Amino acid sequence: MTARVIGAGLAGCEAAMQLARRGIQVELYDMKPVKFTPAHKYEGFAELVCSNSLKAARVDSACGLLKEEMRRFGSVICEAAEKTAVPAGGALAVNRTAFSDEVTRIVRSNPNIAVISEEVTEFPEENAIIATGPLTSDTLANKIRERCGDYLSFYDAAAPIVTAESIDFSIAFEQSRYDKGGADYVNCPMNKDEYDAFYNALINAESAPLHEFDRPTESAGLRVYEGCMPVEVLAKRGYDSVRYGCMKPVGLTDPRTGKRPFAAVQLRKENLEGTLYNIVGFQTNLKFGEQKRVFSMIPGLQNAEFARYGVMHRNTFLCSPRLLDEHFMLKGSKNVFFAGQMTGVEGYVESAASGIMAGRALADILDGKQPLSLPRTTMTGALAWYVANACTHNFQPMGSNMGILPPLEDNIRDKQLKYQRLAERSLKDLEEVMKQP
C-alpha cells in the first residue's frame, strides 16, 4: 500500500514520517527545487519563512505543551529543532538553515519514503495528504477550490533580519525580560521623544504594492490575520498599540539610565553563531527603502545592515469545519487528508502537529484500524476539535492556547498553577489514550 504526501513543509514531513514508521510506502511530492513559492528561497524541507522561533519551551505553556505531546508521537520537527536550537530565552528557536537541513536528512534517509521533486497539479483521489501550505501553487489551489468550494485568503508578513556587527551596543543592551533565560535578546530602548518620532514615521511610511497573486479578491480590501499583522498596520490602531505589543518595555532596564525605557525593540538571534538578529514582532509590508529609513530610526540600529528585509505574502486556508473531520480528513473522500496552515491551525508548531495527526490517521486506516481520537483535554486534540467544529461563520485560524482546553474541575485562580495543572492533565490523558491498541 502506498500513500501520497503532497508538500514537504513541516506538516508534510511529519505526516510522511508517521506513515513511513508504520511500514507504509510514501511518495513525498515537493515542487522545490523545480519551482518555488514567492516566499520560499531554500531548497531544503520544512523551510521557516516568517520566524525562526517555535515559541515557548515550557511544558506549562500552550505551545510548550503541544511540543511535548508531539515528542511523544515521535515528532521529526521537535527532534530537528532540539539539534539546531539557538539561545532564545524561554523559547525554542532554531538556526533556520541547519533546521531545514536536519529535517531533510531525516526524511530522505527513511527507506520507506520516496521523494519526488515535481509540482502536483491534480487533486488526489485517495490515500493522500495535502500539506502544500499557505502558498499552494495556483494550479493545485484551483483544483482544491473546484473540489472544496469556497476557501479564504489572508496575509502573512515576515520580519527583517540585521547583522549583529551593525548593532550599536553602546545603546542596545542584552537582557531577557525580567532576566528570564539569560541574555538571549538584544534590546533597543527608546525615550518618549524617540518613540514619538519613530511612531510618526512608521504610520506614514509607504507600503510595498502587492504582487498579483497577493491582491485581495474581496471588495472589503486587504484581510490581515491578527497573529502575523504587519507592524505598520498594528501601529495605525493607536499611539500605544505597538508600545503595548512588540515594543513593550516591561521587564527591561536600560543600563544607561537604570530605569525602564518608554518603549523597546527586541532582537532575537537568528543563528547559533549570533551573527544575525531578527527584529521581533516587526513583520512588515513596507517598501525596502522605507524599512531602511524607518527602522534605522530605532536607537542602536541607526547603522543597521539588513541581511533580509521584511516581506508580505498571501496565505490560504480552508473553511475546515465545513470540510474536515477531527482527523483532518476531507468529508466524503476516499482517505484524502489536509494538514498544515491551510486547515486553519496557526503557527509552525501547530501545522506540524496537524501533520502528525493526519499521518497517524491515514496509517491507521491503511492498517485497517479506527483512527486515534485525542481527548480535547490535550492541546493537539483541542486544536483538532477546533478545526472540525468551530463556527463556520467567519472561520479564523487558531493557534495553541490554554483557552481552548476544557476548564479544570477546580477553580484555580493562580494562573501559573492553573496552567501547570492543565498541562499535567493533558499529558496524563494523552498517556492513557496512547495505551489503546
Residue 248 is placed in which grid cell? 513593550
* Enclosing H/E stretch for 235: helix 231-235
φ, ψ of residue 85 to 5 degrees: the values are -70, 150
Query: Cβ distance 268 to 280 under 8 Å?
Result: yes
Considering only 65-69, 132-136, 191-195, 329-333, which range has the smallest mean pLDDT?
Answer: 132-136
Residue 436 is placed in which grid cell? 489503546
Tens digit of each residue's pLDDT (9 = 90 or more) over 27-78: 999 999 988 887 778 899 999 987 899 999 999 999 999 999 999 999 999 9
- For range 120-128, the mean pLDDT: 97
* 175: nearest Cα among 98, 254, 231, 108: 254
b/e 19-38 (16+ beta carbons within 10 angstroms → b): bbbbebebebbbbbeeeebe
* Enclosing H/E stretch for 64: helix 62-72
pTM above 0.85, yes or no: no
Using alpha carbons, list the distances in angstroms from residue 303 to 8, 262, 298. 38, 22, 10
Residue 184 is placed in which grid cell? 538571549
In angstroms, the CA 325 to CA 388 distance is 5
Neighbours of 181 (CB within 10 A): 15
Fold of 161-310: Elongation Factor Tu (Ef-tu); domain 3 (2.40.30)
CATH number attached to the domain at 2-153+316-434: 3.50.50.60
* Domains of the chain by residue range: 2-153+316-434, 161-310
Q: Which residue has the higher pLDDT, 403 or 103?
A: 103
pLDDT at 160: 92
Q: Which residue has the higher pLDDT, 52 or 380?
A: 380
> DSSP state, 162?
E
Residue 381 has pLDDT above 80, yes or no: yes
Tens digit of each residue's pLDDT (9 = 90 or more) over 315-336: 778 999 999 999 999 999 999 9
Using alpha carbons, list the distances in angstroms from residue 434 to 42, 358, 406. 36, 16, 20
Residue 284 CA, chain-centre distance (Å), reads 16
Q: In what order do the strands lie in the sheet with 161-163?
A: 173-174, 185-190, 263-269, 276-279, 161-163, 306-308
* 105: nearest Cα among 85, 86, 83, 136: 83
Q: Give me the amino acid identity at 259.
A: K
Question: Which residues lie closer than 8 Å to 35 by C-beta, 6 or more apart?
Answer: 119, 137
Residue 201 has pLDDT above 70, yes or no: yes
pLDDT at 227: 62
Residue 116 CA, chain-centre distance (Å), reads 25
> DSSP state, 207?
B
Query: Cβ distance 398 to 390 under 8 Å?
Result: yes
* 132: nearest Cα among 321, 404, 317, 374: 317
Query: Cβ distance 405 to 429 under 8 Å?
Result: no
pLDDT-derived band at 270 (thresholds 50, 70, 90) equals: confident
Mean pLDDT of the chain: 91
